[in-house]
Amino acid sequence: MSAPPFQWSKIFDWFTEIRDRRALLRRVGVLTLLAVLAADVTDATINLLTQPARLWPSMVQTSFTAGVISLIFITAICRANFRLYKLKSEMERLSRTDLQTGILNRRGFFETAQARRGEAESSVLLLIDIDHFKRINDRYGHLAGDDVIGAVARHLGLFMDQRDVYGRVGGEEFAALLVGCNLAEARARADAIRIDVARAMELRLADGSQVTISVGIAAWAPDVPLLSGFAAADRALYAAKRAGRNRVAIQPRAAA
């Protein structure tokens, strides 16, 4: 079997994707050394052919000059690449983050959940919707609605484990992936979230009304497409809505 072709892009990535200051110092040191060696080889070759007696003095002078000039320019270039990489990382983070709540947005949730699918033999998807949210906006105003969305996001995060993924996937809709969780455990956690939201003082509105949520649950195995699991959780959510809201409904397994 032949060796894979050399990928020049890896060298380019090594030079441009400088993630921290330690990597910055390594790049500057390696590139400066390479520049000095290249200058010395060129200088020695020329002197051997033209002025052999000046070989060593010239190499010392060339090494010093090449080192100083290379250090200045390479440091400037690497610092610029470092800043560009940080800006790129921040832009990627923002593109996957819901600006209103600070949690993952729809894109971020789906990408992260897809990446976690192989971490457990089975997981559970939760789809969470704020009940009568349009009524909240109409009665109390959109600022109150925004406060409710932010509060629900915070309370949802209180019930997530380190491996779990959660985000805001719609206007008043949230999703969570409980990695390695079974349906019974997911049901217990979903009920705890629902009760916590209903009882939370910060979610009580001006007239004492409570904010409630409905939750749809579906099992999700790694061999099932994520969208199929999401659709199953969505069907369970609508079943909870039809049954009167402020409750949890389960769709046992998503179809492959």
**Interval 127-139: pLDDT, tens:** 999 999 999 999 8
Between residues 68 and 103, the one the model is more confident about:
103
Task: List the beta strands (DSSP E) in the chain.
Answer: 123-130, 165-168, 173-179, 213-220, 248-253
pLDDT at 184 over 80: yes
pLDDT of 233 reads: 95
Mean pLDDT of 39-68: 79
Contact present, 169 and 108 (Cβ < 8 Å): no
pLDDT at 80 over 90: no
CA distance 190 to 169: 17
pLDDT of 226 reads: 87
pLDDT of 177 reads: 95
Between residues 20 and 228, the one the model is more confident about:
228
pLDDT of 22 reads: 82
Contact present, 40 and 63 (Cβ < 8 Å): yes
Q: Which residues are catalytic?
A: 172
CATH of 106-253, one of 1.10.3720.10, 3.40.920.10, 3.30.70.270, 3.30.470.30: 3.30.70.270
Mean pLDDT of 221-234: 89
pLDDT at 255 over 60: no
Between residues 209 and 145, the one the model is more confident about:
145
Q: Which of 154, 127, 193 is nearest to 146 (CA)?
A: 154
Domain ranges for the chain: 8-95, 106-253
Mean pLDDT of 46-57: 76
DSSP string, 133-199: HHHHHHHH-HHHHHHHHHHHHHHHHHT--TT-EEEE-SSSEEEEEEET--HHHHHHHHHHHHHHHHH
CA distance 207 to 205: 6
Is the C-alpha dihedral spanning 231, 232, 233, 238 positive or negative? positive
